[in-house]
Copies of this chain bind each other. A is one copy, B any other.
Amino acid sequence: METRELRYFVAVAEELHFGRAAERLGIAQPPLSRAIRQLERRLGTELLERTSRSVRLTEAGTVLLREGRAALYAVEAAERRTRRASADGPGVALAAKAGASGEVLAKLLDAYAALPDAVTVDVILCGVGQQERLLRDGRADVALLHKPFDATSGLDYEELSTEGQVLVLPAGHSLTGRSHVDLAEASALPGLPLPRWPAIDGSCPDGPGPQVRDHAQLFQLIALGRAAAVLPASCESQLRDDLMAIPVPDAPKVTTVIAWPPQSRSAAVAALVRTATAL
């Protein structure tokens, strides 16, 4: 199976419409029809049920969509990592959420840079939940993420540290002085809804809270008195003067992990991981 065939199939399977898929692929519709038909013949199975009015996935088609997407990602990652290896020379790209993991990240970069055979580390600060994507498509080689919020599915990882969570509020809020808040109370503060983070695919769950993409946006909103948030305790050291934090003991514990795609155990990534776990 060629990646061209896979790309074509995935496009049709996603659009469920040959015309639109062809447009997206930048080719005409007839060659696309033919390519899909050839793919079906070669696999010896029907992938799409088509009437002249609708296109639907068969059982086998559903499997190929899922597996084919993963395979295309792998090919894309191979190409991108090869390009990076030749362009940037030896060096690794590390992805982390903008505004999070600040302390760990700084210590890690320092400790790693002190090693005798350290290579340059490009830090990619990305939006919440984007690290997995960056690792899978080859733009990053290693990432810092937080269980259980960030998906680790398909990644190898080592745990670095575990911490509780705190409620972040505008300074001067009426809860000032409380030694702790429980999660139910934090979730139902009058006038201060919890924000909604975008999911991996860019969509946002429905709800009352404002949508935020990174921590800068979030802190801004909290300072304006438009939201509150429950965040890992380590964020407290980076809080602006106009914000305050109260522990939420019954919130789930958050574990910072360093993760990498399973086959990318390059020497540099391995050294970085070793350094991180030794911190």
Contact = CB atoms under 8 A, between A and B. Distances in A.
A1 interface: yes
Given A153-B262, A156-B153, A85 B59 contact: yes
Contacts of A71: 71, 74-75, 77-78
Contacts of A263: 66-67, 69-70, 154
Copies in the complex: 2
Interface stretch (A2-10, A103-111, A122-130, A184-192): A2-10
A59 B2 contact: no
Contact of A1 (B3, B44, B70): B3
A139 interface: no
A138 interface: yes
Given A43-B82, A45-B87, 5 more contacts: A2-B4, A3-B3, A46-B86, A63-B81, A74-B75
Interface of A: 1-4, 6, 43-47, 58-60, 62-64, 66-71, 73-75, 77-79, 81-83, 85-87, 89-90, 138, 153-156, 261-266
27 contacts: A1-B3, A1-B79, A6-B75, A44-B83, A44-B87, A45-B87, A47-B82, A58-B86, A59-B90, A60-B82, A60-B85, A60-B86, A62-B85, A63-B81, A63-B266, A67-B77, A67-B78, A67-B81, A67-B264, A71-B71, A71-B78, A74-B74, A75-B75, A153-B156, A153-B262, A153-B265, A155-B262
